[in-house]
Amino acid sequence: MTEWVVSVLRFTAFPPATELTINPDQWWLAVTDSLPDRVVLEPKIPQYQYMGTYNEGQLSFGINPTRIDWLWTAQESSPDTDNITDSMPILGRFTEKVDEFRKTLQKWFQIGDLPVQSRVAFGAILSQPAADRASGYQRLQNYLSQSVKIDIHNSSEFLYQINRPRTILLDNRELLMNRLSKWSVAIATSQKVMFVPGGLLVQQQVSPALAIRLELDISTEANPENRFDSRNQEVLLREMIGLGEQIASNGDIVSYEPD
């Protein structure tokens, strides 16, 4: 099957319902080895948001009392591009960029003062270009052959979402892992901006770009009694990425053989 490209990668951690001790300046510098382009602080919440260019994409780091987010997204495309596929900005190949993301977060996990978390999650938005709607639905059907039947030529606005939880082992104990996937055909439209003599601005509609789209949200169960230290979080991220790669490669598999 055609290789997936990725536009968004996310790691989220949910701390227990206790006071969260944070050091966001140190954490950002440890991961990126550079100052952020922008910092937004809302003291009353309190909430911090760090943003900066990172490895040909945009990295953001958000903290509030209930969650911590690392988000790596594709750069927005240029409005005067001649390439219609640029209306769907991408970071690169999923298999390559997700490994970069994991290695980036390893720097964070190695910081000594990280708080424990009660839940963690990994998310991604993937796509594959499609020539038209029918070919997009045909490719989706290949990934969803065990679960749904798509009327390829007489369907539109198809959306399939399912969670197939499975159990993993962490420190010799069973842990329930949610495996949520959302499948669709996405249509992106854009306008080409041109300047003509006399200084007039002309906007020319660009043909829409189509792609099959897969959204992944892999997470541990919402159990407030869980306590994951930095070593556990690193192990769980690796496990969640592996589960996401299985879905992207094999599609929605109704049954599976436990590892």
Q: What is the pLDDT along the chain (259 residues), one digit of tens a residue?
A: 679 999 999 999 999 876 667 788 999 999 999 999 999 999 888 899 999 999 989 999 999 989 999 999 998 754 444 444 455 789 999 999 999 999 999 999 999 778 899 999 999 999 999 999 999 999 999 999 999 999 999 988 999 999 999 999 999 899 999 999 999 998 865 545 445 455 555 555 455 689 999 999 999 999 989 999 999 999 999 999 999 999 999 999 886 555 4
Whole-angstrom Cα distance, residue 13 to residue 24? 14
Is 90 part of any domain? yes
CB 183 within 8 A of CB 144: yes
Specify the number of domains making up the chain. 1
Does 258 map to a domain?
Answer: no
Query: Does residue 115 fall inside a structural domain?
Result: yes
Q: Is residue 18 domain-resident?
A: yes
Minimal CA–CA distance to 121: which of 156, 76, 163, 153?
A: 163
The answer to whether position 94 is within a domain reads: yes
Domain of residue 140, residue span: 5-250
- The pairs formed by 81-84 with CB atoms below 8 angstroms and a separation of 24 or more are 81/190, 81/192, 82/192, 84/190, 84/206, 84/207, 84/208, 84/209
Cβ neighbours for 230, distance < 8 A, ≥ 6 positions apart: 109, 110, 111, 114
Report which DSSP code applies to 161. E
Whether 259 is covered by a domain: the verdict is no
Enter the tokens of residue 211: 């792609």
- Residue 9 covered by a domain: yes
Question: Around 241, how many Cα atoms within 13 Å sit in the side-chain half-sphere?
Answer: 20
256 in a domain, yes or no?
A: no
For residue 40, the SS3 value is: strand
